[in-house]
Amino acid sequence: MTRPFEGIRIIDVTHVLAGPFAAYQLAVLGADVIKVEHPAEPDQTRDSGTDRALNRLGMGTSYLTQGSNKRSVTLNLKSEAGRDILKRLVERADVMVENYRPGAFAALGLGYEDMQKADPQLIYCSISAFGQDGPRGNQTAYDHVIQATSGLMATTGTEEVNPIKFGSPAVDYATGTMGAFALASALFQRERTGRGQYIDLAMLDVAMILMSSHLTGYLRNGVEPKPAGNRHLHATNSCYAAREGLVMLGASNLRQQRRLWQALERPEMTKRTNEEREYDRDREAALLTHILKTRTADEWEVFFQARHVPAARVRSLAEAVDDPQFFNRGVTHRHRSAPGIEGGFSVPLAAFKLAHGGPSINTPPPALGADTAKVLTEHGYSPGQIASFREAGVI
């Protein structure tokens, strides 16, 4: 069954996480993604990750994460010949994605207006830290810097220890996901209008959207969210120490908190409104602290889930991966091998399934420049021209 983006070609001139992750999500849904890197200064994720041997091979786990289903081409865009090649690639593409400093590609004659001349129906996506305009438009940043700038760090941590950065580069991956959504939207729009599109995507904007309810509340009455750690506004929606391990309760709404107190044989603690829950929070928390120490976190998870009360033992990543539910969902894909890599490895696939034509991986992440000659041949370059480009350091 045909996947959603089969027949769509994407020129991926991005590096690190957000940009490559945006293109990757369309790649697993069938798009032909050509990843463009500098021959001497490749994507820094190639030497980043938990396996130093792979880092030295230019196949670091950070690169493997979002390199499947892509083809790798090297181009020196500082050279005129390299820029001409990129323009030819774009002429036969539907989408171009870049995530360099705002204005950098325009200065090279590779901005949206320039590339639109090569393909009037082109969808061009620029991903940056702060956007293409505004007082911070010329500044650069990574995930953790955006977490600091946006106020996201200030909402994370405990009352005693804050601000705290997220344990994963969540803003990067959220930006990539938002980028994939924007690209899909633009492609759908083009089907109706026949027009190309320019997408200006900023990591800061994504970070603010990740705090949407906090943002709405603050803009309404000026109340800033305070870091509360594992302590939620409602006691039945917080984390507690069990006899062994930690258990996170998720009795969020009034119906669920009623079930929780009935299950614990303390129906008198049930509240009729959320205001009542807030007012009585300390008393509820003290009681839950005492009760939950009588069983292990695993036992409480089974107990509450059987009674339709959301709850879970707090797990490590290793434990989460070992959970049968993880394997059942097919979130990752197992590569038996890849060029230059000994043994198999697994990479993220997608966070959703489709009844037909869903996300799938066909090819492993390519080595740097592995597809340069083939892609250039497809675009009309002769073996002699390709050899001269290589000799001149263009590819």
Of the residues 43, 172, 205, 282, only one is catalytic, namely: 172
Please give the pLDDT value at position 118: 82
3-state secondary structure 187-211: HHHHHHHCCCEEEEEEHHHHHHHCC
In the chain, what percentage of residues exceed pLDDT 70? 100
How many helices (H) and strands (E) the chain has is answered by: 18, 11
- Angle at the Cα of 240 from the Cα atoms of 235 and 241, rounded to 5 degrees: 160
Backbone angles phi, psi at 86, to 5 degrees: -60, -40
Contact 287, 266 (CB under 8 A): yes
Contacts of 279 (CB under 8 A, 6+ apart): none
Helix (H) / strand (E) containing 212: helix 212-221
CATH 3.30.1540 holds for 235-314: yes
Q: Does 133 qualify as catalytic in the annotation?
A: no
Q: What is the mean pLDDT of residues 25-54?
A: 97
Distance CA 271, CA 255 (A): 10
Average pLDDT, the chain: 97
Please give the pLDDT value at position 339: 86
Contact 256, 311 (CB under 8 A): no
pTM, full prediction: 0.95
Please give the pLDDT value at position 340: 86
Q: Give the model confidence (pLDDT) of 63-73 as tens digits.
A: 999 999 999 99
Distance CA 164, CA 28 (A): 33
Please give the pLDDT value at position 308: 97
Q: Give the model confidence (pLDDT) of 366-390 as tens digits.
A: 999 999 999 999 999 999 999 999 9
Query: Torsion-angle region of residue 103: left (phi > 0), alpha (psi -120 to 50) or beta?
Result: left
Using the structure block, give the residue that is written with the tokens 């020129």. 11
Backbone angles phi, psi at 71, to 5 degrees: -110, 145
Please give the pLDDT value at position 1: 63
Q: Give the model confidence (pLDDT) of 331-343 as tens digits.
A: 999 999 998 899 9
Contact 261, 307 (CB under 8 A): no
Contact 49, 62 (CB under 8 A): yes
CATH 3.40.50.10540 holds for 9-210+328-391: yes
C-beta atoms surrounding 219 within 10 Å: 9
Contact 363, 337 (CB under 8 A): no
Contacts of 200 (CB under 8 A, 6+ apart): 126, 128, 131, 132, 133
Q: Give the model confidence (pLDDT) of 152-197 as tens digits.
A: 999 999 999 999 999 999 999 999 999 999 999 999 999 999 999 9
Q: What are the extents of the domains in the chain? A: 9-210+328-391, 235-314
Which amino acid, residue 227? P
pLDDT at 255 over 70: yes
